[in-house]
């Protein structure tokens, strides 16, 4: 008779897999059914050829995601009930003890997961992105990025993981609180140093040149009472033709970044409106709220792990006979997504609400019409589908569907001169 926790795990895994495949099928079917006609709301703004390109691009990515989901599920079963983690434990425990054992075990699992994902990343970048005209990355740059990520994982990840494993072993019953406090401080530190220390490892950042755009941006920042440490242009075009803008950091270290591809495509007034939307996220405290929610959830999950770490059924139910902190940590975070998948729509709904609020802020401090024009251009340039399936969108999309978002903006009151 299978272990009760094993049955629960398998049932939720089957449900999660079924839902992901069902949602992917719905997405592809719905998009292809609407491929031959541009939605009436966009019929005068986006040509049929661009609409069909977006449909084909989205379906190609969804088909690949479907295969990736099957591969990820298979790997999870191999690692847990298939004895993979047990085998890794047996190997590493025969050669290492203490923190070195825990670090080796966890990084081995991460490495296996990365190896399984690597072919999908290569196909996504050099087949799908290339086929639809978005790829500008060379194999050499892909390998360089991969090497940098591995180096960062070693330089930053190993000390952080060692600290977490030590706290789990040394802090007694309430170790989960000390781990949470350390993890929270670490994340805030990363947010602070990312713009000036980590991001430049991958991209070149140059100050935004003087001119109409810089004048507009500085006027917008003054109207919004927002201070930034600098305005920068990022060479996103060396990897992709997709465009974007964002700001990073916090406190005195905030900087605003524009992809060079965005500046090539949009007019200054449209870029101003896009930035006003991003500033809306800051002024409506969306970033602070998301960080706070992340901290609350991480505390809850670590507390839950604290209740499971000494429970034999937790390990046995996932195919592991041994018990220790490293095994508990890796097993917990491998299976948590299976148990929380059903709550995905809640995260999407919160994110969409924030997007509407940021759009409303942009309409008041810039121009709703300019933001609409910018969004339509970005939908077309990035081949974002205008006709997503409602259920698929509910689970996966952090932004509202294009038609709904544009309709909301069209109802916004123009700002006064």
Q: What is the pLDDT of residues 274-324, one digit of tens each?
A: 999 999 998 999 989 999 999 999 999 999 999 999 999 999 999 999 999
Q: Minimal CA–CA distance to 302: which of 329, 342, 327?
A: 329
Quote the CA–CA distance of 327 and 192 in Å, as a whole number: 31
Calculate mean pLDDT across residues 200-208: 91
Distances (CA, A) of 291 to 62, 73, 184, 225, 296: 29, 29, 9, 22, 9
What pLDDT digit, counting tens, does each position of 360-396 carry?
A: 999 999 999 999 999 999 999 999 999 999 999 999 9
Residue 138 covered by a domain = no
Residue 83 covered by a domain = yes
Quote the CA–CA distance of 296 and 294 in Å, as a whole number: 6
Calculate mean pLDDT across residues 196-216: 90
The 8-class DSSP code of residue 196 comes to I
Residue 108: predicted pLDDT: 97
Q: Which residue has the tokens 């201070």?
A: 227
Residue 228: predicted pLDDT: 81
Highest mean pLDDT among 1-5, 38-42, 82-86, 249-253: 82-86
- Catalytic positions are 278, 359
Cβ atoms within 10 Å of 227's Cβ, excluding its own: 10
pTM over the 0.85 mark: yes
Using the predicted structure, report yes or no on whether residue 190 has a pLDDT greater than 60. yes
Percentage of residues of the chain with pLDDT beyond 90 = 82
Using the predicted structure, report yes or no on whether residue 226 has a pLDDT greater than 90. no
Residue 184 covered by a domain = no
* pLDDT grade for 195, boundaries at 50, 70 and 90: confident
Calculate mean pLDDT across residues 247-255: 72
Residue 239 covered by a domain = no
Distances (CA, A) of 104 to 70, 94, 336, 382: 26, 12, 21, 40
Asked whether the beta carbons of 127 and 349 are under 8 A apart, the reply is no
Mean pLDDT score of the chain: 93
Residue 251: predicted pLDDT: 65
Quote the CA–CA distance of 148 and 145 in Å, as a whole number: 5
Residue 180 covered by a domain = no
Asked whether the beta carbons of 242 and 213 are under 8 A apart, the reply is no
The 8-class DSSP code of residue 35 comes to T
Residue 237 covered by a domain = no
Query: Which position has the higher pLDDT, 105 or 245?
Result: 105
Residue 205 bridge partners (DSSP): 234
Residue 75 covered by a domain = yes
Return the ∠ at Cα 177 (arms to 171 and 181), rounded to 5°: 105
Domain count across the chain: 1
Calculate mean pLDDT across residues 334-348: 95
Calculate mean pLDDT across residues 166-173: 95
Residue 71 covered by a domain = yes
Calculate mean pLDDT across residues 34-57: 94
Alpha-carbon dihedral sign for residues 268, 272, 278, 282: positive
Cβ atoms within 10 Å of 109's Cβ, excluding its own: 19
Calculate mean pLDDT across residues 353-358: 95
What pLDDT digit, counting tens, does each position of 100-113 carry?
A: 999 999 999 999 99
Calculate mean pLDDT across residues 179-198: 91
Range of 338's domain? 1-131+280-286+299-417
Residue 416: predicted pLDDT: 43
Which residues, other chains included, contact 185 with Cβ-Cβ below 8 Å and sequence gap of 6+? none
Using the predicted structure, report yes or no on whether residue 64 has a pLDDT greater than 90. yes
Using the predicted structure, report yes or no on whether residue 417 has a pLDDT greater than 50. no
Residue 247: predicted pLDDT: 76
Would you give the end-to-end CA distance of the chain in angstroms? 73
Alpha-carbon dihedral sign for residues 265, 270, 271, 276: negative
Report the side by side order of strands in the sheet with 231-234.
205-207, 231-234, 255-259, 245-248
């Amino acid at each position: 008779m299978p272990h009760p926790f094993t049955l629960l795990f398998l049932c939720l895994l089957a449900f999660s897999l079924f839902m992901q495949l069902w949602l992917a099928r719905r997405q592809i079917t719905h998009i292809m059914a609407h491929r031959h006609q541009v939605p009436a709301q966009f019929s005068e703004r986006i040509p049929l050829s661009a609409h069909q390109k977006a449909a084909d691009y989205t379906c190609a990515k969804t088909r690949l995601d479907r295969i990736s989901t099957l591969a990820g599920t298979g790997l999870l079963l191999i690692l847990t009930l298939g004895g993979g983690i047990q085998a890794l434990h047996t190997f590493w425990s025969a050669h290492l003890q203490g923190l070195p054992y825990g670090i080796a075990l966890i990084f081995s699992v991460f490495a296996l997961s990365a190896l399984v994902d690597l072919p999908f990343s290569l196909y996504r970048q050099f087949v799908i992105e290339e086929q639809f005209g978005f790829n500008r990355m060379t194999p050499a740059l892909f390998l360089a990025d991969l090497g940098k990520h591995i180096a960062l994982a070693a330089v930053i990840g190993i000390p952080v993981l060692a600290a977490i494993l030590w706290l789990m072993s040394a802090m007694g019953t309430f170790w989960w609180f000390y781990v949470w406090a350390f993890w929270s401080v670490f994340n805030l530190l990363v947010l602070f140093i990312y713009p000036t220390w980590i991001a430049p490892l991958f991209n070149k950042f140059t100050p935004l040149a003087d001119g109409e755009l810089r004048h507009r941006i500085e006027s917008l920042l003054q109207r919004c009472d927002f201070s930034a440490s600098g305005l920068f242009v990022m060479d996103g075009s060396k990897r992709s033709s997709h465009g974007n803008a964002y700001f990073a950091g916090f406190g005195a270290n905030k900087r605003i970044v524009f992809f060079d591809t965005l500046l090539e495509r949009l007019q200054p007034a449209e870029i101003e409106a896009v930035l006003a939307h991003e500033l809306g996220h800051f002024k409506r405290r969306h970033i602070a709220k998301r960080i706070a929610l992340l901290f609350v959830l991480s505390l809850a999950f670590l507390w839950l792990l604290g209740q499971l770490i000494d429970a034999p059924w937790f390990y046995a139910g996932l195919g592991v006979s041994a018990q220790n902190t490293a095994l508990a940590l890796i097993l917990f975070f491998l299976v948590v997504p299976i148990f929380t998948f059903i709550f995905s729509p809640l995260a999407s709904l919160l994110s969409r609400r924030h997007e509407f609020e940021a759009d409303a802020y942009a309409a008041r401090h810039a121009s709703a019409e300019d933001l609409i024009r910018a969004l339509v251009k970005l939908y077309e340039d990035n081949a974002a589908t205008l006709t997503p399936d409602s259920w698929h969108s509910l689970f996966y999309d952090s932004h509202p569907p294009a038609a709904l978002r544009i309709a909301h903006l069209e109802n916004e009151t123009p700002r006064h001169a």
